[in-house]
Amino acid sequence: MAEFDAAGARGVFGFRRLPGVRDAIAVLLVLAVVVLLGLGARRMLGPLVLAAQPPISLSPWALPDYALRTVVRMLAALAASLVFTFAYATLAAKSRRAEMILLPLLDVLQSVPILGYLSFTAVFFVSLFPGRALGPELAAIFAIFTSQAWNMTFSFYQALKAVPRDLDEVSRSFRSSAWQRFWRLEVPYALPGLVWNMMVSMSGGWFFVVASEAIVVGALHVSLPGIGSYVALAIEKRDLTAVGWAILAMLIVILLYDQILFRPLTAWAEKFRVEQTAGEGGSRSVVLDLFRQSLVLGRLVHPVSTGLQGVMRARLTLPRPAARRVRASLPAPWPDVIWWTAVVAVIGYFGWRLFLFASPGLTWSDFATVAENGLLTLVRVSVLIALASLVWVPIGIAVGLRPKLAAAVRPAAQFLAAFPANLLYPVAVFLIIRFSLDPVIWLSPLMILGTQWYILFNVIAGASVFPGDLREAAASLRIRRWRWWRDVMLPGILPYYVTGAITASGGAWNASIISEAVTWGSVHLSASGLGAYIAQQTAAGDYPRIALGIAVMAVLVVATNRLVWQPLYAFAERRTRLD
């Protein structure tokens, strides 16, 4: 596609054949990114002896190198998430039987706290490549992967299920093969949602980078060179200046990521929207424009893009059975019965093994403690979501109703959401100690520091697409103050708000592990709660209790999603539909 644009541009603007400044910048940019990423990746393969790890330096001059290594890890995890998404979601969408298992499983995977994966897999990965950096690197990448993959998979699955019937029939009646159909129809259709979810995933990834680079599980201590380890060390050394440098470095990295990767991606993904109306102004990207206009780059990329297109258009047909006759009676139930019996047997077996593994070390008082802590965290998350809503819903509406302001604030809010709030924790802890505040209360806001922005920019999005005629009708009927909120605006933005609140609450649960127990040098502050409990057991390497904590958290998250958010979302959607 890009190739065709470039070809068109060559024909129409023949006079711009000479390479110009634009070309130089574009080519330099591409070369720089490729070379840097290559450098970062090569070092992952180097040797590493656990007992004699190279020390992490707190000098600000070490930061560019650390930042590069962190960025490479993030990208590797993103690529892995993408591959996982394509495979898992496609399987779930195409096979009814697989769907019955994969979907609930995904729900659970999503609600398991990310650090939970780390504590169980770190040792495995490290032992996979003894004496090499690759083991811990893979452990870190896997941890970041677990913070990114699930929502991308969900969005891709939903898009696959919602492919418009007529487009589907076109592809079938022109006898596209499954491979052609995947790249021509399904991926493009899913792309806008997928890109959006990649951005959300990336934010999640930044948040956990600190924890996944400085791995501490029981006796295993690994510090991979990166921004995360830098921050961890700064906290240990109580070096507030170093924390400041790390924040600055992170700001720059995220800004670059946004400009070089996500802006161009979102602007490019615009064309895959199915709504054939013009829509809201659409995002623009300086970098994408630069690439599109650079003829030299176009020529360089041409063979690559032609090759890729060729791959996507290849038939790669699998022998397919002919369409089945439509049955006039219900299919026999027994294949499903067999399938379910097999599934239940496998789950039962694993459940039994898990029970055998965990039960010797656990007593009833453990369950009581976990339940109590879970309840505390649940209360915390609920109160915080309510407070954040009280603050951000009115502000979001006020901003969303002013298009110019909204255009300025939305990227800022997205940027804030991408910024890993845990870099600010040391500052908060410093303040709590300084003014001797109660950690049980004052540590709580940290949970929502990073995720509250989802409420803000979803509400802004909702308010900015609120129909103008409905607003005018309200104005001409002189509906004001409380009634205006209750009858006009709040119902109008409800679906958007609910979407934002779901993301925010999921993020807050995940963040609880990091934010309920924080350290500053030798000072350990604990707010108690399920997150603190899991963090504590992870540091002690007490696997049965980690498993118990994680299981309870997963149950709590799935339960709130099923009992609160999903019904609320269904309700909001039904109420705001007019057909």
The Cα 447–Cα 425 span in angstroms is 10
Q: Which is nearer to another protein, 179 or 442 (CB)?
A: 179
Q: Are 236 and 400 in contact (CB under 8 A)?
A: no
* Nearest CA-CA partner of 509 in 416, 382, 399, 417: 382
Nearer to another protein, 325 or 434 (CB): 325
Q: What's the CA gap between 41 and 169, in Å, rounded?
A: 44
Residues 525, 443 contacting (CB under 8 angstroms): yes
Q: How far is the C-alpha of 312 from the C-alpha of 395, rounded, in Å?
A: 45
User: Which residues, in sequence order, are CB contacts of 57 under 8 Å at separation 6+?
Assistant: none
Phi/psi of residue 214, nearest 5 degrees: -100, 85
H-run or E-run covering 406: helix 403-418
For the chain, report the end-to-end CA distance as a whole number of angstroms: 37
For another protein, the closer of residues 320 and 478 by Cβ is: 320
CB of 487 to another protein, least distance (A): 14
Interface contacts to another protein, rule CB under 8 A: 1, 4, 8, 164, 166-167, 169-170, 172-177, 180, 184-185, 188, 191, 271-274, 276-278, 310, 313-315, 320, 322-330, 571, 574
Closest separation in Å from C-beta 423 to another protein: 38
Give whichever of 47 and 331 is closer to another protein, judged by the CB atom: 331
Tell me how far, at minimum, the Cβ of 177 lies from another protein, in Å: 7
- Minimum gap (Å) between residue 411 Cβ and another protein: 24
For another protein, which is the closer residue by CB, 12 or 18?
12
Phi/psi at 220 (5° precision): -85, 120
Helices 187-213 & 134-161 angle (0-180, nearest 10): 150
Shorter beta-carbon distance to another protein: residue 350 or 571: 571
The residue type found at 56 is I
Nearer to another protein, 481 or 577 (CB): 577
CB of 191 to another protein, least distance (A): 8
**Tokens encoding 11:** 């024909």
Contact 210, 144 (CB under 8 A): no
Residue with tokens 């711009």: 16
Nearest approach in angstroms of CB 1 to another protein is 7
3-state secondary structure of 578: coil
Minimum separation from the CB atom of position 569 to another protein (A):
15
Q: Minimum distance from CB of 474 to another protein (Å)?
A: 21
**Comparison of 329 and 476: residue with beta carbon closer to another protein:** 329
